[in-house]
Each structure stands twice: as structure tokens, then as C-alpha cells.
Amino acid sequence: MARVYATVAEARALSGLPLTDEAAAAHDLRRAARLIDRVLLSAVYPVDADGYPTDEALRELLRDLSAEQLVFWDETGDATGATVGGSGGSIGDVSLPGGNSAKPSPDDRQRARLSPDVADTLRSSELVRFRVAGY
């Protein structure tokens, strides 16, 4: 079973989001945990039999970051990274912003899914001691 670092009630309290659809919020919290776990793939810390950190401060940090990730997705409206790269171009003399015509890489999409605040916090927590590809 996938790990989840925050309950819907905790995420609601921490994020300030209404999270009225419990099932959707629970789904998003599972997705947030998977994304955070992907960043922490090479991090080393003690875990219990279910893979959760045994250190209470780390558990609280991951809970808080899960809620922050939901805020980011709510603010950007993009939990998939689908809007990365934009679709700029031109029509006649009119140029539309949005980047270049190159297709975004999987790393670009991955970076777009992760909240910059979550990434910064994980980097400064000393859990991620080197740059992880895609973040």
C-alpha cells in the first residue's frame, strides 16, 4: 500500500484549502507522497516496517510538505506538468509567448509537478544531499 504523509483533515488545516471532496483530496495526497518519495529516493533515514520515517520531526516535515504540494497544485492548476513548455508561436505578425517549439523533457515535466517550496525545503533539510535529476 502506498504511503501517505498527511490525512485529509491535516492537509485541510495546514493548507487552508477547503478540500471538500474527500476522495479527491486523499488521491492527491497519495500522489503528493509518491512525488516526495521520488525526490527522497536516495535519502537515508530510519524507517518502520511500513516505510514511514521513525523520526517524528521528519514525519511532521513530510506531512507539512504534502499539504504544501496540494497548495501548489491548487495555485497552478497543473498537477501533471502538462503545461510545461507552453505552446507559443505566431500567427502572421502576431507572436504568442509560451516558449520554444521543443517538446518538454520528462525532467521538465517532473520539475513542474513539484512545488518549488517543497523542493527547496527538501534540499535544505539535508535529506537530499546532492542534486536529484529532474529537480
Percent of the chain with pLDDT over 90: 56
Least confident of 27-31, 47-51, 70-74, 83-87: 83-87
Residues with Cβ within 8 Å of 134's Cβ and at least 6 positions away in sequence, in order, are 106, 107, 110, 111
Query: How much is the mean pLDDT over the chain?
Result: 83
* Joined grid coordinates for residue 130: 546532492
pLDDT tens for residues 23-37? 999 999 999 999 999
Would you kindly state where each structural domain of the chain is located, as residue ranges? 8-124
Residue from 35, 39, 28, 38 nearest 6 by CA: 28
pLDDT tens for residues 38-69? 989 889 999 999 999 999 999 999 999 999 99
Distances (CA, A) of 72 to 124, 129, 134: 19, 24, 18
pTM for the model = 0.76
Q: CA angle, corner 35, sides to 29 and 40, nearest 5?
A: 120
Which residue carries 512525488 as its cell?
35
